[in-house]
Chains A and B, each alone.
Chain A
Amino acid sequence: MAAQQRPLSPHLQIYKPQLTSVMSILHRATGIFLAAGTLALVYWLLAIAGGAESYKQAQGIFGSFIGLLFLFGWSFALFYHLCNGVRHLFWDAAKGMDIKSVYASGKLVWFASIVLTALAWTLALTTK
């Protein structure tokens, strides 16, 4: 059907990155990354169900440098996607859709994600 190869929008290569566009694509990117994290959640539950030995094995994987790196990435991605998701829910209710509010809520999302990630890791590293 498509005889002509017309350009598809958005033309990312000619747009200057903006807070709004970067946050929008990050919402999707973190969503994809977090979907992979559900595999880790199910593996963790299976490891506990398997008993002390399999749990120790899982602890070894999650406690390794790469494991901790992923856990840190997932925690930040999760808080970002969660906070930005709430921002989206407000938009769905047609609240805060003017440019000024969109930028203000965008900055608030970054701030809240960083604070929540820091809180979670402070809790994790102090309750050993």
Chain B
Amino acid sequence: MSDLRTPLAKVRGLGSARDGTDHYIAQRLTAIALVPLLLWFVFSLAAVAGQDFQHVQAWVKSPFNSIALILLSMVLIYHAHIGLHEVVEDYLHEDIVKTIAMVLMKFLAITLIVTAIVAVLRIVLGG
């Protein structure tokens, strides 16, 4: 009994950092997913952006594009959130400021993801 740490704490292996490798893995998994998603999106956008409203609407409405747009929005905003979270951890040192920034960013990220999904669904289901 020379160790006061609980068996659960030992298994988790997080130590005093209070944080594990989950965000590290999530950052890389989202990065891998974003490579094809963003290459598809930027080049599709380049081709479709100059066209009139009906064409752009029809482009979003296609099953492949609407699914890819929802996936892109989710993964992109999640990836951006992980990155900004890291920046806040590095540069904001005041605990209360840091906490407020992290909570607001989390709210904003989730709101943006839901807004993007609803927007795509409105385009797909709308007239």
Contact = CB atoms under 8 A, between A and B. Distances in A.
Interface of A: 28, 31-32, 34-35, 38-39, 41-42, 45-46, 48-49, 51-52, 55-56, 62, 75, 78-79, 82, 85-86, 88-89, 92, 119-121, 123-124, 127-128
Query: 9 tightest A-B contacts by CB?
Result: A124-B46, A45-B119, A49-B122, A35-B80, A123-B46, A128-B50, A49-B119, A52-B53, A31-B83
A127 B47 contact: yes
A120 B49 CA distance: 12
Given A89-B31, A124-B47, A82 B116 contact: no
Interface of B: 28, 31-32, 34-35, 38-39, 42-43, 45-47, 49-51, 53, 56-57, 60, 69, 73, 76-77, 80, 83-84, 87, 112, 115-116, 118-120, 122-123, 126
B105 to A, nearest CB: 9
Label chain B's interface by main secondary structure. helix
A52 B57 CA distance: 9
Contact of B112 (A34, A39, A119): A39
B123 A45 contact: yes
B48 to A, nearest CB: 8
A45 B126 CA distance: 13
